[in-house]
Amino acid sequence: MSANDGAPRTEWVGLVVGPSAAEAWGAPSVRRVAFVGAGIREVVSLADAAGLAARIDDDADRPRWVWWAAAGAGRMLIEGGVRPARVWDVAEAHRLLVGGMDADPDLAWATAHGLDPAGRPAAHRGDLLDLTGPGDDGGDGDDDSPVRPDGYLRADAVAGQWAVTDDRLLAWAEALLTCAEAQRRAAERVSARLVRTVPAESAAALLCEELRHDGLPVDRDALLSIVGPMSGPPAERDAEVLRLVPGQGHVDLRNPASVRAMLVAVGIDVPSTRKHVLEDYVGVHPVVPALLRWRAEERIATTYGLAWIAEHVGADDRLRGEWRACDGGAGRMTAASGLHNLPSVLRPAVDAGPGHVFVRADLGQIEPRVLAVVSGDAAFVEATRADDLYAPVASRLRVDRAHAKVAVLSAMYGGRAGAASAALAGLQREYPVAIAHLERAYEAGVRGEPVRTFGGRLIPTARMLGPNRRPGENPELDSARGRFARNAIIQGAAAEFFKAWAATVRATTRDLGARIVLCLHDELLVHTPRAHAEEVAARVDRALLDAGRRWTGGSPVRFVSDTQVVTRWSEAKDVPPGTGG
């Protein structure tokens, strides 16, 4: 077997899971797994699948696994103790090709084969209104093929009701490989870069299943000691704020209008009660810091309280939740169970445990550095050579660092008022190629045209239009769509780079017993045996260089990471290299 990123020939192994014939008619579950490719054509029981998969993955040439979606066959393998090295995930490839989240096998197949998705056969309902049962063709043509005469996949095959014999399950695996090959050809028509992006996104989907399975290690006692005092009666939490403003009558701290009226009564008139607004008034009256503390505690009590611990922290003291490799928009990873929004006050409870530590790595100024890559602006590329990218930008613009940062962030995120306006003028003068790249995306979004990220993900901005709307009918909506497109090409590319880096870390540290246990925006938390901590940290940094070289295609843009070895997450200094930000 040889391993490459080309078409799925003998070096690719298709893997599908199906029921037995008895299960299809309501008998107890007896799952079977079909393997096709790399000289293998075999159906085994679910109990034997992990062993066969491990033997295949241990081959010196390591094939690339192909499956419809990591949440199906990938989850099964991980639960059986097998962690494939290389994957082509049909669902993730489809999301890259057309955007959005819908990626069922019939949709991915139709799109890859140039068929109108609207022509897909309706799903079988499995009741008496269906005129056929499992095993009947239902007008779908050859009963032994999952593909109908019109080229679409059979509805009962997609629903898992058709592949009730070994031959049919093998045919379903062959259809999977055919779909992956069609996707690869479709990706090639877009760009060679998109073909390289699919394996990285597929690896991210597999990583999501590993994150779900492994969980984030926590110190339950420490977690309870933090959450417990904040989980008392709401009236007690409220009283700590209201005692500072006596004589106010009834104040509902959960109602912004009521809170604003309370603040006005003590001489603080604010346009909103959002955190960033109130922080400017911390020294004006003691009720403001008390209110900010109350909000933090209220969030813990209502979202991350005792019930949350009971629901999401297992008996093995691991915090678990579902993960997704992309959000359906720009492609950022997402997580449930509070894993992507874990309050910093809970970080002391994220503990590596006996004999282990965390290697925590946080990318510095990732989105401006990505802008340098995707735009190819030579002057901006040169700025990335510094630990703190904003320092050379400030020097070139002849402004202080704070104004330089405002300029760069405004260019990407759309701020145009106040200090941002003056700073942007200098940025347009000194970095015209980067600004022009952003403006082209903005203009495409205004027109409702799709844009693609650096890695090739399609972002169909027209979906933001809503029903019965055309570009030009609503200038405000057009502008919002333009801002979304401009931001999405940078956020999407940054997400692609982060996932390529995470995939590289996963592949290069697994032999040391290290496992990624958290992907938080631009931050990795790698759980590793204490004895290998320094080597894992070094490999994480090398992975950043390797991923940067491959992902950029050799661009001299420099990526930086703040990499630390800690026992508890809270021990990590939340400051990137250089002066940060």
Phi-psi category of 33—alpha, beta or left, where left has phi over 0 and alpha has psi -120 to 50? beta
> Are 11 and 3 a contacting pair, CB within 8 Å?
yes
Q: 183 pLDDT exceeds 90?
A: yes
Share of the chain above pLDDT 70, in %: 90
Mean pLDDT of 225-235: 89
Q: Residues of CATH 3.30.70.370 domain(s) within the chain?
A: 319-366+495-571
Question: Could you tell me where in the chain the CATH 3.30.420 domains are found?
Answer: 12-190
Instruction: Give the range among 17-21, 481-485, 558-562 with minimum mean pLDDT.
Output: 17-21
pLDDT category, 124, cuts 50, 70, 90? low
Q: Which two tokens stand for residue 568?
A: 């508890």
Residue 70: pLDDT band with limits 50, 70, 90: very high
Higher pLDDT, 550 or 30: 550
How far is Cα of residue 88 from the mean position of the Cα atoms in its chain? 17
Looking at per-residue pLDDT, the higher value among 110 and 299 belongs to 110
Beta-bridge mates of residue 564: 360
Q: What is the mean pLDDT of residues 472-494?
A: 92
**By mean pLDDT, which of 19-23, 180-184, 405-409, 499-503 is the weakest?**
19-23
Which CATH number describes the domain made up of 232-304? 1.20.1060.10
Question: Which pLDDT belongs to residue 458?
Answer: 96
Q: CA-based angle 33:35:38, to the nearest 5?
A: 165
Q: What is the pLDDT of residue 491?
A: 95
The pair of three-digit structure tokens given for residue 565, joined into one six-digit string: 């070895």
Q: What's the pLDDT band for 25 if we cut at 50, 70, 90?
A: very low
At residue 126, the 3 state secondary structure works out as coil
Q: Are 249 and 242 in contact (CB under 8 A)?
A: no
Residue 153 DSSP class = B
Phi and psi torsions of 529, nearest 5° = -60, 140
DSSP structural state of residue 334: E
CATH 1.20.1060.10 residue ranges for the chain: 232-304
pLDDT given for residue 559 in this prediction: 97
Q: 132 Cβ partners below 8 Å, 6+ apart? A: 124, 138, 156
Residue 546, pLDDT score: 96
**Among candidate residues 78, 122, 86, the one with its CA nearest the CA of residue 13:** 86
Question: How confident is the prediction for the chain on average, in pLDDT?
Answer: 89
**Does residue 8 carry a pLDDT above 50?**
no
Residue that the structure tokens 């942007």 belong to: 424
pLDDT at 471: 83
pLDDT for position 435: 94
CA nearest neighbour of 12 among 96, 112, 86: 86
Question: Which CATH fold would you assign to the domain 367-493?
Answer: DNA polymerase; domain 1 (1.10.150)
Q: What is the CATH number of domain 319-366+495-571?
A: 3.30.70.370
Sole residue written with tokens 């996932």: 499
Is residue 386 left, alpha or beta, with left meaning phi > 0 and alpha meaning psi from -120 to 50? beta
Lowest mean pLDDT among 165-174, 201-210, 260-269, 418-427: 418-427
Residue pLDDT, tens place only, 511-525: 999 999 999 989 999
User: What's the confidence (pLDDT) of residue 6?
Assistant: 41
Give the right CATH number for 12-190 from 2.30.42, 3.40.50, 3.30.420, 1.10.10: 3.30.420
Alpha carbon distance 550, 561 (integer Å): 17
Chain position carrying tokens 């007896």: 30
Most confidently modeled of 16-20, 159-163, 463-467? 159-163
Classify residue 251 as exposed, middle or buried by CB count within 10 Å of its CB (0-12, 13-18, 19+).
middle
Q: Which amino acid is at 283?
A: G
pLDDT band with cut points at 50, 70 and 90 for residue 426: confident
Instruction: Return the amino acid letter for 213.
Output: H
Of the listed ranges 269-273, 327-331, 347-351, 389-393, the least confidently predicted one is: 327-331
